[in-house]
Amino acid sequence: MSPLPVAFADICAGPRSEIEAALARSVDPRPGVPPRLADAMRYSLMAGGKRLRPLLALWACEAVGSRREAAMPAAVAVEMVHTYSLIHDDLPAMDDDDLRRGRPTCHKEFDDATAVLAGDALLTLAFETLADRLRADHAAACCRELAVGAGWAGMVGGQHDDLDAEGRFDPTDDDPTGNIASPTDPESIHARKTGALIVASLRIGAITGNASQAELARLAEYGRHLGLAFQIVDDLLDATGDAPTMGKAVGKDVDSGKATYPARFGIDESRRLAERAVAAARDSLSELSGPTGPLESVASFVLDRDH
């Protein structure tokens, strides 16, 4: 059901190099900015990665019939927010990770205080980017969407409950259908920790492309399914992947008793749930006014990635 990885790489190449260039410009030295702080921000922001969220922002803009250039400030902003969340999540006070994308994490390369501040500054710069570079009505709508997706009822809330669930989730729970109303249920945690920023990336990209409310709703639905698939595959990779390919420590989720899909449903059923989520994501792309090919491809790619 999935296109060849080569084809997906081809689809990504152009937009991704545009994104890399825009990200690099966004952390160029500026007067009044401490060089070491800017270095830490740049170190983490320019560490590579899939650039999934900014790609989604650009492609959502295209999917509602606009040119992707319009969405570049949105793309930069969501990657800044994603990067800030990784920097803070890796801190000793949080997940305490030493390795990220094959390199020392920000607080290992710099220090804990600089990592806290670099994360704070990237989050703040994301909103500045939207407010400064989009026309006022788009800026206001995008700042709102980004704050909702990244905030206490979104990404930060999910991260809180993910930490809270460490060691408290019982993989032998005899109700495998799950109760998704429970705040420490993996689906609820994933929907907020990973899904909310993915949904926001799509919506703010689409807003900069003058999307209708109906289009925003379709893209949000796509994003919810995609985010779920993405997190299930993340859990599967943590349970079955190897550290050199992943560029980070693996097996940590199982070790820490985190509420993962494999822990709850097993490897095979988790894989099936991911496939079902990807199919639902692709179904959500009907009735959009622009080309949706890249968004269809990314859904399949999420399923097949190995890191």
Interface ranges with its own copies (CB under 8 A): 30-34, 36-38, 41, 84, 88, 91-94, 111-117, 119-121, 123-125, 127-128, 130-132, 134, 136-137, 139-141, 143-144, 146-148, 150-154, 156-157, 159-161, 163-164, 183, 192
> Min. distance of Cβ 306 from its own copies in angstroms?
30
> Min. distance of Cβ 241 from its own copies in angstroms?
25
104 touches 153 (CB < 8 A): no
**Could you give the CA distance from residue 4 to residue 14 in angstroms, rounded to a whole number?**
17
> Min. distance of Cβ 195 from its own copies in angstroms?
12
Closer residue to its own copies (CB): 85 or 270: 85
- First-to-last alpha carbon distance for the chain, in angstroms, is 20
285 touches 296 (CB < 8 A): yes
Closer residue to its own copies (CB): 112 or 242: 112
Q: Backbone phi, then psi, for 254, in 5-degree steps?
A: -65, -45
**Could you give the CA distance from residue 161 to residue 159 in angstroms, rounded to a whole number?**
5
Closer residue to its own copies (CB): 47 or 91: 91
Could you tell me the two tokens for 73? 């400030």
Angle, vertex CA 186, rays to CA 50 and CA 201, nearest 5: 35
Q: Backbone phi, then psi, for 99, in 5-degree steps?
A: -130, 135
> Min. distance of Cβ 122 from its own copies in angstroms?
8
> Min. distance of Cβ 173 from its own copies in angstroms?
20
Closer residue to its own copies (CB): 116 or 246: 116
Closer residue to its own copies (CB): 154 or 290: 154
